[in-house]
Amino acid sequence: MSEQCYLGVDLGAESGRVVAGLFDGETVRLEELHRFSNGPVRVGGTLRWNVLGLWQGIQQGLAAAASRFGDSIQSIGVDTWGVDYVLMTEQDELLGLPWHYRDDRTTGMLASACERVPREEIFAATGLQFMEINTLYQLLAMKRDHPELLDRARRLLLIPDYFHWLLCGSRVVEFTNATTTQCFDPSRNGWASELLGRFELPAEIFPEVVPPGTSLGRLRDDVARAAGLGRIEVVAPATHDTGSAVAAVPTDRSGSASWTYISSGTWSLMGAEVPAAVTGPETLEVNATNEGGIDGTFRLLKNIMGLWLVQECRRAFARDGRDVDYETLTRQASESPAFVSLVDPDDPAFLKPDCMPTAIRDFCRRTGQPEPSDDAALVRCALQSLALKYRDVLEQIESLTGERSEVIHVVGGGSQNQLLNQFTADACGRPVVAGPVEATALGNVLVQARAAGALGSLADIRTVVANSCGPTTVTPTGSSHWDEARSRFADLCN
């Protein structure tokens, strides 16, 4: 078949882009058409998202796509991070600028919520990991601070769904992102209306939930005309970026928990693909989560702070006049002494510190360890600590599924970090298959291709990914030093 073009809008915490996925029936290749910056904007002491700036970047990407690929473009779909949302009036006007999940307003809100509704009951209704950034706690903070906005709201859309509304006027929320909110009941496959009622949150603002691959309508006429496009289909991919990334794991074991994935980037999301949500007391005890996947599957996983630690260290180094790229930092870290200091990556001190190097040194000092002496030592500390956290989470996931994971698939931008891949293989004692780097964009465009009838199943999607992107395998070295470090690490996390 001739190449068909599917446009993916992939929005991350630092940047957004419009990519073309060019599919010939057996392989897919990506071409980046337009990239634009993203990040929190400080407004009146709060952190917000500049959604209108992102929309401008998307429109510029559409124009570039029309110029480059014209009539071969079949559809477009948007993926982003989870939990954040917009509120809209009956007339589809925005109610305020959407908050960024790292805004301070949710501090203490989780504990306050659990005083009102027991933690066990919240988990039984949602199956989701407890994190203060979850939509539920953001809405409770809004009810406390800005009740007038909730009173006026007639619709809540998550961030990717808002961009789908801008593209075609759809007013629905896609399943994989709905499951990140802690407002969705996986056992009933719908919003947790009873739980929302107990918190006196307006359940009626939550719209219909649709599965990934749903056609949402055609591109608005004015948007198409401005870009020079036809009125192409707008298709919901797995709109949560991790949902798209996991769809693009190049495994031939779909539907089996015999493999584990790590979607590695600002956050590390580590888990297994399971046919139904796992919501027993053991899941609550380890604070694991059930997020939606393709074909009604669930991603039984844990959110880990991820390469945010290294990203924020690099940002601090640059502020101090040492603007070094990630490749150089990683090489320097590989030459730094091993296991001098370790941190718990998920310690609350690392969620939104003013200065990450200071936060890491403070943690080491509080726990009686040497403070990392230089930039390389800080990065090595972060990477080794992440690998040890992966080992803990691997054991928890295996315990919940009852299956041993034979291989760990690392996808996303973090799969390029060969040092972290080796650390992960050594710490976990399992081979690591690294790649594809562009898992999220690949999953996005291939779900669109499946919606168009060009592919038949999730297994087909993964076969295309494997055909298109040769992953690399890293084997464990068998070093006993990781077992010794693990006992130290366990003490730090308790």
Same domain for 252 and 153:
no
Give the end of a domain, one of 194, 214, 235: 235
- 351-377 per-position pLDDT tens digit: 989 999 999 999 999 999 999 999 999
Tell me, yes or no, whether 431 and 316 share the same domain: yes
Matching residue, tokens 């006429």: 221
**CATH number where 193 lies:** 3.30.420.40
The average confidence (pLDDT) of the chain is 96
Residue 308 has pLDDT above 60, yes or no: yes
pLDDT in tens, 197-206: 999 999 999 9
Mean pLDDT of 391-412: 96
| 97 shares its domain with 214 | yes
pLDDT in tens, 10-31: 999 889 999 999 999 999 999 9
Residue 180: CB partners within 8 Å, gap ≥ 6?
A: 82, 83, 128, 134, 135, 240, 291
Do 149 and 193 fall into the same domain? Answer: yes
Same domain, 154 and 33: yes
**Is there a domain that residue 183 lies in?**
yes
Does some domain include residue 464? no
Q: What are the CA-CA distances from residue 213 to residues 31, 236, 294, 398, 450 (Å)?
A: 22, 5, 9, 30, 7
Any domain includes 294: yes
* pLDDT band, very low/low/confident/very high, at 494 (cuts 50, 70, 90): confident
Same domain, 342 and 395: yes
pLDDT at 252: 86
CB atoms under 10 Å from CB of 46, counted, come to 16
Q: Same structural domain for residues 316 and 182?
A: no
Instruction: List all residues 6 or more positions away from 65 whose beta carbon is below 8 Å from its beta carbon.
Output: 5, 7, 18, 20, 33, 73, 227, 229
Residues 290 and 219 in one domain: no
Tell whether the model's pLDDT for residue 444 goes beyond 60. yes
Q: In this prediction, what percent of the chain has a pLDDT beyond 70? A: 99
Q: Say whether both 403 and 422 belong to one domain.
A: yes
Query: Is residue 452 a part of any domain in this protein?
Result: no
**255 lies in a domain?**
yes
347 included as an active-site residue: no
**Letter string b/e over residues 148-158, b meaning 16 or more CB atoms within 10 A of that residue's CB:** eebeebbbbbb
Q: Would you say the C-alpha torsion 368, 369, 371, 373 has a positive or negative sign?
A: positive
Residues of the chain above pLDDT 90, percent: 96
Place of tokens 């706690």: 137
Residue range(s) defining the domain that contains residue 121: 4-235
Assigned domain for 447 exists: no
pLDDT (0 to 100) of residue 480: 84
Q: Which of the listed residues 189, 217, 235 is the one where a domain comes to its end?
A: 235
User: Which tens digit of pLDDT belongs to each residue from 126-163?
Assistant: 999 999 999 999 999 999 999 999 999 999 999 999 99
pLDDT tens per residue across span 55-87: 999 999 999 999 999 999 999 999 999 999 999
Say yes or no: 229 and 257 in one domain: no
Boundary (domain end) residue, out of 166, 201, 235: 235
In a domain, 154, yes or no: yes
Residue 478 binned pLDDT confidence (cut-offs 50, 70, 90)? confident
Angle at 242 (CA atoms; ends 305, 464), nearest 5 degrees: 135
**Structure tokens given for 260:** 């584990």
The pLDDT assigned to 489 comes to: 96
Per-residue pLDDT tens digits for 197-239:
999 999 999 999 999 999 999 999 999 999 999 999 999 999 9
- Between CA 87 and CA 85 the distance in angstroms is 7
Q: For residue 64, what pLDDT is reported? A: 98
- 178 and 256: one domain? no
Q: Where are the alpha helices (DSSP H) in 367-434?
A: 375-401, 418-428
pLDDT band at 479 (very low <50, low <70, confident <90, very high): confident
Q: For the CA atoms of the chain, what is the radius of gyration?
A: 22
Domain total of the chain = 2
Question: Are 410 and 303 in a shared domain?
Answer: yes
pLDDT surpassing 90 at residue 253: no
* pLDDT for 255: 66
pLDDT at 1: 57
Distance of CA 225 to the CA centre of its chain: 32
DSSP state of 475: -
Average pLDDT over residues 114-122: 97
Kindly name the residue from 241, 344, 346, 392 that is annotated as catalytic: 241
The verdict on residue 37 lying in a domain is yes
Average of pLDDT values for 245-255?
A: 88
